[in-house]
Amino acid sequence: MISVDQALKKVLSYIDVLEEGEVPILDCLGQVLTEDVYSSINVPPFDNSAFDGYAVRYKDTIGASQQSPRFLRVVDTVRCGSSCESEVEPGTAIRIMTGASMPRGADSVVKFEDTDEALREGSSTGQPPAEIGILCEVKAGLYVRRAGESIAQGSKVLSQGAVIRPAEIGVLASLGHSRVKVTRRPVVAILATGDELVNIDQPLPPGKIYNSNTYSTAALVLRYGGIPRILGIALDSEDSVVTGLQQGKDADMLITIGGVSMGDYDIVKDVLAKQGEITFWKVRMKPGKPLAFGTIKGSSKAGVVRDIPHLGLPGNPVSSMVAFELFARPAILKMMGKKNLAKPTIEAVVENPIVNNDGRRTFARAIVERRGGQYFARLTGPQGSGIITSMRLANGLVIVPEDKSGVKEGEVVQVMMLDWNEEVGAA
């Protein structure tokens, strides 16, 4: 039986980064940029005001104070989106709104609060007064946002390899880019196996259970940026599994659920052995020991038959989710061109003892909380691999290494964070 680390290395050795594709910017959240992006414009495109106020010449404010205002003649108003024909000449000011283009002649902005505008008649109607009192001195350039101060025309704004977050999408939009080139998302085909499984939209006959794992798996695929393709349920027969897998032969990765343990009807690994190549089918971990990995012959593209990586997740709901986090997630991230494939891991004080007696790496479902600047992890309760609610309650997995026979209460442990929600644990 191979270790978790060896298994992950093996899986990743079969995974290639996918090709690039051009997509609308809102479709690429979480994807990796495959081009450098340069700006063809200045952002902002023109000098503009950072506040609502008056565009002035700073020299006209020298000596201004509350006690001794400098009075300037108001010659115009400039709103956002329009440009102003008038010029600020000595002794004059132009009323200006945040983001409006600076008028010629002006070099600074005085905020409304630093003028006597509130005392002027008609100020509430937004009508500019004929004259305005400036109540403080301003430095040249004050409250002027310079053209190109955020992004200079011709500069490199985003580099190939950058992961697209909302801020990157904002940057692209501010340059007027509606599409961008990124590594495409993998299509992950998911086939559930088991005579006992029933579709979630059907009544539940005796002896049957709902096919829940397809949905938790598809949700994980979505969460990590892939495109799930649900292939439905195959029966516990080789024919049925082979037929089910046919529909996934143009996917980038195949996931089957169940059918990999030692039971008489666990046939996924036999199919894998016949239809492709089996690389391993047991990993020294708990939960999730029966886990198959290999390749299946896919459809041919331009005369070349592709080998599709195939991950055979165990059927127990917790095992399948944990094994997904450990192996399918890094595979998806690698296909998407990401470099950091590890789930964030923290150190926490464990609040329950955990036994680990058979040389496997244990991943115990835990609720991680921060108290007094330190993380604490307490188990969610019964750790059976069929108890899906243990995943529902958890925000982390306490890791007990294979060479440790357990951990005692109060020991510091590594916890792989499933997410950072600290409000877990409530029904």
Provide, rounded to whole angstroms, the least separation between the CB of residue 313 and ligand AMP. Answer: 8
Task: Choose the stretch contacting Mg ion; rule: CB under 5 A; options: 80-88, 313-321, 361-369, 419-427.
Answer: 313-321
Do residues 218 and 256 make contact, with C-beta atoms less than 8 angstroms apart?
Answer: no
Burial class (CB in 10 A: 0-12, 13-18, 19+), 374: exposed
Q: Is 314 near Mg ion (CB under 5 A)?
A: no
Provide, rounded to whole angstroms, the least separation between the CB of residue 237 and Mg ion. Answer: 11
Q: Is 194 near Mg ion (CB under 5 A)?
A: yes
Q: Is 238 near ligand AMP (CB under 6 A)?
A: no
Task: Choose the stretch contacting ligand AMP; rule: CB under 6 A; options: 145-153, 183-191, 261-269, 277-285.
Answer: 261-269
Q: Is 197 near ligand AMP (CB under 6 A)?
A: yes
Task: Choose the stretch contacting Mg ion; rule: CB under 5 A; options: 8-16, 73-81, 257-265, 372-380.
Answer: 257-265
Cα 288 from chain centre: 26
Task: Choose the stretch contacting ligand AMP; rule: CB under 6 A; options: 200-208, 310-318, 406-414, 416-424.
Answer: 310-318
- Cα–Cα separations (whole angstroms), residue 340 to 163, 335, 369: 11, 12, 25
Q: Is 258 near Mg ion (CB under 5 A)?
A: yes
Q: In the complex with Mg ion, which residue's Cβ is closer, 319 or 380?
A: 319
Q: Which of 144, 334, 329, 157 is nearest to 255 (CA)?
A: 329
Q: Which does 213 bind (CB under 5 to 8 A by kind): Mg ion, ligand AMP, none?
A: ligand AMP
Task: Choose the stretch contacting ligand AMP; rule: CB under 6 A; options: 40-48, 66-74, 177-185, 207-215.
Answer: 207-215
Q: Give the three-state DSSP class for 405.
A: coil
Q: Is 209 near ligand AMP (CB under 6 A)?
A: yes
Q: Is 211 near ligand AMP (CB under 6 A)?
A: yes
Distance (Å, rounded) from C-alpha 396 to C-alpha 380? 10
Q: Is 287 near ligand AMP (CB under 6 A)?
A: no
- Cα–Cα separations (whole angstroms), residue 47 to 96, 97, 112, 157, 211: 12, 13, 19, 20, 60
Cα 382 from chain centre: 31
Cα 30 from chain centre: 5
Distance (Å, rounded) from C-alpha 230 to C-alpha 222? 12
Q: Is 257 near ligand AMP (CB under 6 A)?
A: yes
Pairing status of strand 179-183 against strand 70-78:
unpaired
Q: Is 263 near ligand AMP (CB under 6 A)?
A: yes
Binding site for Mg ion (CB under 5 A): 194, 258-259, 315
